[in-house]
Amino acid sequence: METRIRVLVAKPGLDGHDRGAKVIARALRDAGMEVIYTGLRQTPEMIVNAAMQEDVQVIGLSILSGAHNAIVPRVMELLAEKQMTDVAVVAGGIIPDEDATELKKIGVAAVFQPGASLESIVEFVRSAAQRQAA
C-alpha cells in the first residue's frame, strides 16, 4: 500500500497574504497528498516543530513580504539542529533571483517565483518526497 506524501505548507513571519499558499495546499491535496496548512504568522520554531510532529517529507514556505533572507535560513538552521535534513524545503513568493540562488546554496530544494504553474510545483514536491522514500 502506498503511503501518501505528507507536506507542510507554512506562512512564516508577519505576512498575511495567503492566497498562493492556500491554492497550492489545495492543489497538492487534489494530487493525493496529505497537506497540513499551518495558518499565518508562524515562527521558524513553530514551523519546524509542526513539521516534526506531522512527520512531513516536504515543507513549503510562502513569503511575499521580503523577509525571506531572515526567515528561511533560520528554518534551515533549525532543521539541521533537529537532524531533519532529510525534509525537503521549497520556498515561494516574492523572492528575487539573487536571493533564490543564495537560498538554494543553503539547501532549499526549489524557489518558485510568481507565474510558476501548479503543475510544476506539484510535480516537484512529488519527486522531492519520493527521493526521500528511496
Partner 1 sequence: MKKPGRVFETLSGIPLEPFYGRDARPDPPAPGQFPYTRGIHETMYRGRLWTMRQFSGFATPEETNARYRYLLGQGQTGLSIAFDLPTLMGYDSDDEQSVGEVGKCGVAISSLEDMETLLDGIPLGQVSVSMTINSPASVLWAMYLAVAQKQGVSWDRLNGTLQNDILKEYIAQKEFIYPPRPSMRLVTDTIEFGARHVPRFNPVSISGYHIREAGSTAVQELAFTLRDGIEYVEWAIERGLPVDSFAGRLSFFFNSHNDFFEEIAKFRAARTMWAHVMRDRFGAREERSWKLRFHAQTAGCSLTWQQPYNNVMRTTVQALAAVLGGCQSLHTNSLDEAYALPNEHAVTIALRTQQILAYESGVTAVPDPLGGSSFVEDLTMRMEAEADDYVRRIDGMGGMIHAIEQGFPQQEIANASYRYQKQVESGERLIVGVTAFNTQREEPIPLLQIDENVSSRQIEKVRSLRTRRDSKGVLHALADLRAAAQGSRNTMPPILEAVKAYATVGEICDTLRDTFGSWEERSVV
Residues that bind partner 1 (CB under 8 A): 13-19, 22-23, 25-27, 29, 35, 37, 39-40, 65-71, 94, 96-97, 113-115, 117-119
Name the minimum Å distance from CB 133 to partner 1.
Answer: 25
State the nearest-atom distance from the C-beta of 111 to partner 1, in Å. Answer: 12
Closer to partner 1 by Cβ: residue 90 or 95: 95
Asked if residues 51 and 8 have their Cβ atoms less than 8 Å apart, the reply is yes
- Is the CB of 13 or the CB of 88 nearer to partner 1? 13
Query: Helix, strand, coil proportions of the chain in percent (round to 5)?
Result: 45, 20, 35
Q: How far is the CB of 108 from partner 1 (least distance, A)?
A: 16
The amino acid present at 42, given as its one-letter code, is Q
Q: From the CB of 30, what's the least distance to partner 1, in Å? A: 9
Give the amino acid at 45: E
Helix (H/G/I), strand (E/B), else coil: 93:
strand
Rg (CA), the chain: 13
